[in-house]
Structure 1
Amino acid sequence: MRKKAVVVVFVLLFIALSVLGDRYFNPSADLNTYSGTIEGTEIPVQPELGGKIVQLSVDEGQIIKEGDILAKLDDSQAKISLSIAQSQQLQAQAKLNDLLGGARAEEIRRLENMVTQAKANLAALEPNLHFEEENLANDQKLFDSGAISKQVLDAQQNKVDTLKAQYEGAQANVNAAQASLDQAQAGYTQPTIQAQKAAVDIAAQSVDNAELSLNKLTIKSPVGGQILYKNVQLGQVVNPGTTLVTILNPEDLWIKIYVPGAKLGQLKLGGTVSIVADAYPGKTFKGIIKYISNQAEFTPKNVQTKEERTTTVYAVKISITEGKDELKAGMPADVTLKE
């Protein structure tokens, strides 16, 4: 009997030591410690305008700074549009100057030359427009028969639309030049002068818009970070809103853990926590509680044991405030809440 009693005592002592040892050597066994994975905020970079990629300056894994050029889209048509807008601005200003100074014989001759040149520019654009419209009609037939892709058809449509815009701009130049000539020959009134001042303002706004569109074709990084994914290739034609690259912001690291409802009482926004990463055993980092879900959910099955998956928990987001130069996205870590 005494031997059995001694055996029982040793067994109970072994179990007690095992439990205490597990709590001491394994932080995850602590009821206030929760496991998670370090994550970083991913920022998709998307152009506001579409076009062909003519420069792609980064590769996956590359470290970049805010303002670095990531890519450039074909800006040839945008430069033409800007040139047209600038020409219209000059014409509008010249007309206003004529109105304010009175038309002289040499000014009338100059305006006549402007009309002639504007008509020549219009005539030069017309054959090219007709040619590209015929190509578009042929491409539409090929697309309907499945011989070409939608991307090829869209590219041809963009070319026709651009030429139409240039043609309409040239036609507007003819009309403006002719109107200027007519006004110079007929004489000017005060309402005409006021209307022309408004036309100068509108022309200036058109130049600003054209410059803005041109600048938008150079894609710059909104933040410093690391290129996580390169989603496109050089020469690819992209639409507005297409994700070109995805940037990982290493300054915004965080961990999401799942805490049982019974533990919510010891949590508050802005509260500090301790973080231990597997990559740095024995070293503790700090974090703060940025978000506590107000909606319960079942414990994710990849986080806890099968028996615990039926437990309802609340998602808690921890922002890492210390060790950003050491901790990396993807590292497993344990978060310990303060009692």
Structure 2
Amino acid sequence: MKRSLAILAVIAAVAAAGGAGAWHLAQRSRALPAGFAQGNGRIEATQVDVATKAAGRVLDVLAEEGDFVQQGQVVAHMDVAETTAALRTAEAQAAQARQSRDTATHVVEQRKGELDLAAKELERQETLVAKGFATEQKVDQYRTTKLTAAAALAAAQSSLAASESAIRAAEAEVERLTRMVADGTLVAPKSGRVIYRLAEPGEVLAAGGKVLTLIDLSDVYMTIFLPAADAGRIGIGAAARLLLEPLPDRAIPAAVSFVSARAQFTPKQVETQRERDRMMFRVKLRVARQLVEQHLEQVKTGITGVGYVRLDPAAPWPAWLQSDLVRQAEGADPTNAKEPAKEPAKDAPAK
């Protein structure tokens, strides 16, 4: 029995190696015409973290690793009971400040009436003094009454202004706490697939603590490395094709969205036919967003393949780099470039 299992394991290993060998043999047998360049790479996508804005306890997490979530979908909740209580306190303080404002408004009206009455009484006494029916002492008394009424009005107006400031401060606090309560509900900033679940219910996270990590499947690309002789001829937006190992006969349309301005040594995980010590330029080939969105459920990152770039715009694509996906993407803008375009150095590569 053990011998049979061992034989089956050997057969499976040989089959897997044969499949990989067949893939590489097929790639070597396809001659690339002049005007094109190629490089090996793997499918990548932008990672997006879903994190807390403030420190707190995780109440629940509604997504699992491997789940596909839509933009705006609720994926987790933080415990905001204390913040909600503080919000109710702030709302009560705002209401109290409005009541104080109303009281101050009434006092201002009252002080205005008192000042108006004092002014009229003073005017009458001054008239009587001119006719000899009142004394200067009486006039001085009403003049003092008017000044007191004016000071009381000024104090009431200051109290009203203070009440208005208290209302603005209370409303600002209500707005801040309302936002904090809303931030306790974590939503997916992008449509994508969950690759890491980093927190569980009951855990206490610091501000900025990560709960989930998504990959943005609307931003899918392959990074390849090309020598200076080829990188110097590439323009942003140049047409490209991708052949993936699981789909060796189905070309995927793409476009150059980024060319590094600096050369670097080729990473070890990238196999090229050039010497390892040659300096290479990083080139990003982005798949059309419209095409990716039509096949979101099938998109996977980490898949290896080969990227082909057309250096000569007049060169026709070979037949083995045509497919239904290419025809489907005709008329779409495959760049969707988010990175600033930089012209690659055209100098000879450093040794």
User: Smaller-chain TM-score range?
Assistant: 0.5 to 0.7
Q: What is aligned with 1:25?
A: 29
Return the offset for 1:301: 2.2
User: How far 1:192 moved relative to its partner?
Assistant: 1.1
Amino acid at match of 1:97: D
Whole-angstrom distance in 2 between the partners of 1:319 and 1:23: 21
**Pair 1:24–1:219, CA change in 2 (3 A):** closer
Query: Which of 303, 306, 327 is matched with 1:334 structurally?
Result: 306
* Residues 302/28 of structure 1: CA separation in 2 closer, same or farther (3 Å cut): farther
Write the distance in 1 (CA, Å) between the matches of 2:240 and 2:272.
24
Q: Is the 8 A contact 1:48 1:241 kept in 2?
A: yes
Q: Which residue, out of 232, 239, 261, partners 2:199?
A: 232
Higher relative contact order (CA 8 A, sep 6+): 1
Question: Distance in 2 between the 1:44 and 1:332 partners?
Answer: 24
| SS of the residue 2:247 aligns to | coil
Shift of 1:247: 0.7
**Letter of the structure 2 residue corresponding to residue 53 of structure 1:** V
Q: Give the deviation of 1:27 after TM superposition.
A: 6.0
Work out the CA distance in 1 between the residues paired with 2:32 and 2:202.
50
Matches within 5 A, 1:118-137: none
Alignment-mate amino acid for residue 265 of structure 1: G
From 53, 58, 76, the counterpart of 1:53:
58
Q: Counterparts of 2:211 and 2:31 in 1: how far apart (Å)?
A: 42
1:253-268 to structure 2, matched below 5 A, reads 253-268=220-235
Q: Which amino acid aligns with 1:210?
A: L
Q: Distance in 1 between matches of 2:301 and 2:31?
A: 21
Aligned partner of 1:72 in structure 2 is 77
Task: State the 1:219 CA deviation.
Answer: 1.0
Structure 1: 4+ residue segments shifted above 3 A: 21-24, 26-31
Q: Name the CA distance, whole Å, in 2 between partners of 1:67 and 1:275.
A: 31
Number of equivalent positions: 237
Report the CA distance shift for 1:28/1:253 in structure 2 as closer, same or farther (over 3 A).
farther
Identity %: 22
**CA–CA separation in structure 1 for the residues paired with 2:274 and 2:254:** 30
**Could you say which residue in structure 1 is the equivalent of 2:210?**
243
Q: Could you list the runs of 5+ residues in structure 1 that have no partner in the other structure?
A: 1-20, 104-185
TM-superposed deviation, 1:265: 3.1
CA contact 1:55–1:234 (8 Å) conserved in 2: yes
Question: Aligned partners of 1:323, 1:206: CA distance in 2, in Å?
Answer: 46
Tell me, yes or no, if the aligned pair for 1:299 and 1:308 is still in contact at 8 Å.
no
**Which residue of structure 2 aligns with residue 310 of structure 1?**
277
Q: Give 5+ residue unaligned stretches, structure 2.
A: 1-24, 109-151, 313-351
1:101 CA drift (Å): 2.5
1:99 counterpart = 2:123: no
| Residue 277 (str. 1) matches residue 248 (str. 2) | no
Query: CA offset at residue 229 of structure 1?
Result: 0.6
Q: In proportion to residue count, which structure has more helix?
A: 1
